[in-house]
Amino acid sequence: MSATTLDQLVSLAKRRGFIFAGSEIYGGLQGTFDYGPLGVELKNNLKQAWWRANVYERDDMEGLDSAILMNRTVWHYSGHEETFVDELVDCLTCKGRFRADRLRDGTCLLNRTLQPGQCAGQLTEPRPFNLMFRTQVGPIADDDSYAYLRPETAQGIFVNFANVLTTTSRKLPFGIAQIGKAFRNEITPRNFIFRVREFEQMEIEYFVRPGEEDAWHERWLQDRLAWWQSIGLSRDNLQIYPVPRDELAHYSKATYDLMYRYPIGFEELEGIASRTDYDLGSHTKDQANLNIQARVAPNQHSVARLSYYDQERREHIVPFVIEPSAGVDRGVLALLTEAYAEQQVKPLSNERQQAVLDALTTFRKSIDRNDQLPAEQRDRLLARTSEIIAALPDSLPQVAGLLDLPGAERIPVGKKLRGQVEPALDEAFRTVLHLKPALAPIKVAVLPLKRNQAEIVALAQQIRTQLQRGSNLRTVYDDTGSIGKLYRRQDEIGTPFCITVDFDSLGRGDDTSMKDTVTVRERDTMQQERVPISELPTYLTERIR
RNA sequence: GCGGGAGUAGCUCAGUCGGUAGAGCAUCUGCUUCCCAAGCAGAGGGUCGCGAGUUCGAGUCUCGUCUCCCGCUCCA
């Protein structure tokens, strides 16, 4: 089971320190999020896994980290100044929002049921709606001293194409990989970290000979699909969406979107675009002599020839580009969605179960009696409630999803239902993140079985210190609760292994042969194994790779 | 930006007829506990989204405003 509502993830993320709303104490800033102590680890692990697979484990890739601020001319020739900056007006009559350049005489043209002119006078003033953020460069704020925050990392790669080529002696095909921040002034940031104004991309620009792009496009699609699965996303939750021709971005010949089944439905996780020679062709000098196939604007500014000299054919060619471009934040969200589970770990007491059942029954009656709900919503709610009642107690975590359905907020007893379900979940369920160990923010937690036993505590802390220093495993020590509580706490943040130090570890148990051994408890199975302290680094490293 | 819903402690929620804010969980401390939410005692944490107005007195009534959530445009 994975997360069924975004709220479950938002709540966990905030509660345990993965992700916070940006600038929270001042009311927030829409479309920004801060990664907390655990979130930064998870995100770093994701980026590291990507870098390892795409740079270290391949022979045809170089890395790059280009500046966020770039000469404005970059965005002129990339096409972004034209396609990312719109003057928009709103029509107060027909509620439409239009590009000012599509209007004639201040009239709403797009509402075709009206004659042009009928909306006139109801339009707001044209306002520049700039999908690129502008910022001041230099101390003097005049009209020309501005730059954009990059809306994609890709252009940093294209403008460095010649630099990388000459310094690495690469032959086609080869790629350049980059991870970095990008900024878009989205009209409506929404859905937690899914659509935000400041985000991070993991991008590859892969350069191939013209004519070979389609084969490489297919290959990259399969590569990327396999990679996402290798870090834990299940194939069932991934979809390939070939973007229809009329929806393609201005640079693209063909694009596959890799869609993931988020709680909000299937949405794009990564785009794999075939960009032809549009980008290098746009940024290069000497365009006329390079047989560029894409339609590019004449470039009078570039001082570099962004081409590849083909020794065999003795000619300069402009490579075609395949671009697998993934969202880091969307990756994090996908990982959390996939990993999240609420599992029953012990039976529910009778009173609790009865209380929940009563609350559900009351809820169902209340829906049934409510005549203000659209029939469709009502039927859906009734059906879902009945399903949950039938599948109790396993279905208990699904109540969150039920209360998230459209219309549910109009049923007042929904709050009471939530109030009954919560303690039941607390009592008998655990929340667990089934993250791949390599991605887990914390790899190992060292726990004393009893915190008021000085010797146990001392040994546990000693083991923690050894693991921290002697291995690359992020290790924490925790003694702020009973052992069961500590396990649950680690489950919730996805820690794959807990090490428990007990009396046997000290040689003070019934079986003295267990001296210098500890219990290692595995997150998913909750199984325990006795391991000699000296073997811990090897034991753990093998299982966390 | 428009339409619909909601803002009270970290979370989920109470808060009656207007009378200076409560519970459970979470967090922290102490005691206790020989492997899966224990328990007990205590502590911290809220200008009730914000700003006006009405009133002797506003979480509660009125107006404005902001933010968030759901639908319309965007796409990593």
DSSP string for residues in A195-235: B-SEEEEEEEEEEE-TT-HHHHHHHHHHHHHHHHHHTT--G
SS3 A415: helix
- Establish whether the CB of A451 is closer than 7 Å to any nucleic acid atom in strand B: yes
- Establish whether the CB of A345 is closer than 7 Å to any nucleic acid atom in strand B: yes
Q: In the structure, how far is the CA atom of residue A515 from the C1' atom of nucleotide B6, in angstroms?
A: 58
Q: In the structure, how far is the CA atom of residue A248 from the C1' atom of nucleotide B11, in angstroms?
A: 43
Question: Residues 396-435 of A near strand B (Cβ < 7 Å)?
Answer: 403, 406, 409-410, 412, 414-415, 418-419, 422-423, 426-427
Print pLDDT tens along chain A (545 aa).
577 788 888 888 888 889 888 877 776 777 888 888 999 999 999 999 999 999 999 999 999 999 999 999 999 999 888 777 655 555 554 444 555 555 544 444 444 333 333 344 445 555 556 678 888 888 776 777 889 999 999 999 999 999 999 999 999 999 999 999 999 887 777 788 888 888 999 999 999 999 999 999 999 999 999 999 999 999 999 999 998 887 787 778 899 999 999 888 888 999 999 999 999 999 999 999 999 999 899 999 999 999 999 888 899 999 999 999 999 999 999 999 999 999 998 888 887 888 888 888 888 887 877 766 677 777 888 888 888 888 888 888 888 888 877 777 777 777 778 878 888 888 889 999 999 999 999 999 999 999 888 999 999 999 999 999 988 899 999 999 999 999 999 999 999 999 999 999 999 877 888 999 999 999 999 999 999 999 999 999 999 98
Q: In the structure, how far is the CA atom of residue A28 from the C1' atom of nucleotide B66, in angstroms?
A: 11
On the question of a cis peptide bond just before residue A423, with omega within 30 degrees of 0, the verdict is no
Rg (CA), chain A: 28
Q: What is the pLDDT at residue A99?
A: 53
Q: In the structure, how far is the CA atom of residue A36 from the C1' atom of nucleotide B47, in angstroms?
A: 28
- Establish whether the CB of A242 is closer than 7 Å to any nucleic acid atom in strand B: no
How far is the C-alpha of A321 from the C-alpha of A206, rounded, in Å? 5
- Chain B bases under 7 Å from protein CB? 1-2, 5-6, 10-14, 24-29, 31-38, 49, 66-70, 72-76
Q: In the structure, how far is the CA atom of residue A416 from the C1' atom of nucleotide B19, in angstroms?
A: 29
Dihedral angle at the C-alpha atoms of A411, A416, A421, A426, nearest 10 degrees?
A: 140
- Establish whether the CB of A503 is closer than 7 Å to any nucleic acid atom in strand B: yes
- Establish whether the CB of A482 is closer than 7 Å to any nucleic acid atom in strand B: yes
Buried-state track A69-101, b at ≥16 Cβ within 10 A, e below 16: ebebebbebbbbbeebbbbbbbbeeeeeebebe
CA distances from A499 to A130, A463, A540 (A): 53, 9, 10
pTM of the model: 0.91
- Establish whether the CB of A23 is closer than 7 Å to any nucleic acid atom in strand B: no
SS3 A509: coil
Q: In the structure, how far is the CA atom of residue A5 from the C1' atom of nucleotide B72, in angstroms?
A: 22
Q: In the structure, how far is the CA atom of residue A444 from the C1' atom of nucleotide B29, in angstroms?
A: 26
Sequence-distant (≥ 6) Cβ neighbours of residue A61 within 8 angstroms: A54, A55, A174, A175, A176, A177, A204
Question: Residues 247-286 of A near strand B (Cβ < 7 Å)?
Answer: 247, 249, 257, 264, 267-271
Q: In the structure, how far is the CA atom of residue A197 from the C1' atom of nucleotide B1, in angstroms?
A: 18
- Establish whether the CB of A186 is closer than 7 Å to any nucleic acid atom in strand B: yes
Q: What is the pLDDT at residue A212?
A: 96
The nucleotide lying nearest A131 (C-alpha to C1') is B74
Q: What is the DSSP letter of A151?
A: S
Q: In the structure, how far is the CA atom of residue A69 from the C1' atom of nucleotide B70, in angstroms?
A: 36
Q: In the structure, how far is the CA atom of residue A15 from the C1' atom of nucleotide B26, in angstroms?
A: 9
The residue lying closest to nucleotide B26, measuring its CA against C1', is A15
Distance of CA A365 to the CA centre of its chain: 39
How far is the C-alpha of A45 from the C-alpha of A57, rounded, in Å? 16
Q: In the structure, how far is the CA atom of residue A242 from the C1' atom of nucleotide B9, in angstroms?
A: 49
Contact at 8 Å (CB) between A491 and A433? yes
Q: In the structure, how far is the CA atom of residue A27 from the C1' atom of nucleotide B52, in angstroms?
A: 20
The nucleotide lying nearest A250 (C-alpha to C1') is B75
The residue lying closest to nucleotide B36, measuring its CA against C1', is A484
Give the CA diameter of chain A: 93
Q: In the structure, how far is the CA atom of residue A518 from the C1' atom of nucleotide B34, in angstroms?
A: 14
Contact at 8 Å (CB) between A101 and A113? no
Contact at 8 Å (CB) between A258 and A225? yes
The residue lying closest to nucleotide B71, measuring its CA against C1', is A406
